[in-house]
Amino acid sequence: MDEHALFRHFLAALAYRGGKCLRDAPEAFIHYDTGNGRTPLAILAHMGDLLDWTLSMVDGQGRWKAGTPGTWDQETARFHEGLERLDRRLASGGPVQAEWPRLLQGPLADAMTHVGQLALLRRMAGVPVSNENYFLADITAGRVGPDQAPPRRPF
C-alpha cells in the first residue's frame, strides 16, 4: 500500500468514525458546553478548517483559515465535503507537496482526536454513540461521505 492509498484509508476511517458522532445529534448536544472548551459545533467547524488546511498543504500552499461556525447541518456537510475534496486529490495520484508524516502527525491526527472529543461529549451529554469493534468495521478508501456502512460488530 503506497502513501496515497494509506492516507485515503485514513480519511475513510475519519469519515466513518466522525460520521457516528455527527449523525442524529440532538440540539442539546450540538451546543453542549462543559465550560472548559469548545462546544461540539465549534469542534466540528474546526475539523472542517483542519481538512481545508490539509488540502492546502497537499497543494503546496499551507494556508490556514479559521472559519466562523455555521449550523450543525452546514458544518457536517463541510466536514464530508472536505474529506471528499482531499480524497479526490489523493486518488488522482498527483504529487503531494507536504511531508506525509507531518500531515498525519499534524492536522489529520488532530481531526481524529476531535472525533474522540465529540464521542466523549456525546456521552457526557447523555446521547452516546454505540460502541463498535473498529478493527472489523467496513471502512473503504473513497467512502468519505455521510453514507457509511452499518456496524459489523458492535460491542
Query: Which domains can be identified in the chain, with CATH numbers?
Result: 3-136 (1.20.120.450)
Residuewise pLDDT in 10s, the chain (155 residues): 899 999 999 999 999 999 999 999 999 899 999 888 799 999 999 999 999 999 999 999 999 999 899 999 999 999 999 999 999 999 999 999 999 999 999 999 999 999 999 999 999 999 999 999 999 999 999 999 999 999 887 66
Instruction: Provide φ and ψ at 76, rounded to 5°.
Output: -65, -45
Cβ(98)–Cβ(60) under 8 Å?
yes
- The model's pTM: 0.94
Cβ(11)–Cβ(83) under 8 Å?
yes
Specify the 3-state DSSP secondary structure of 145: coil
- Torsion (CA) 89, 144, 53, 122 in degrees, nearest 10: -170
At residue 151, the pLDDT reads: 87
At residue 40, the pLDDT reads: 97
At residue 1, the pLDDT reads: 82
Cβ(63)–Cβ(53) under 8 Å?
yes
Cβ(84)–Cβ(18) under 8 Å?
no
CA distance 83 to 51: 7
C-alpha cell at 92: 488522482
CA distance 74 to 3: 30
Q: State the DSSP code for 153.
A: S
At residue 55, the pLDDT reads: 97
Cβ(44)–Cβ(70) under 8 Å?
no
Nearest Cα to 21, choosing from 133, 149, 117, 134? 117
Nearest Cα to 82, choosing from 114, 43, 111, 124? 111
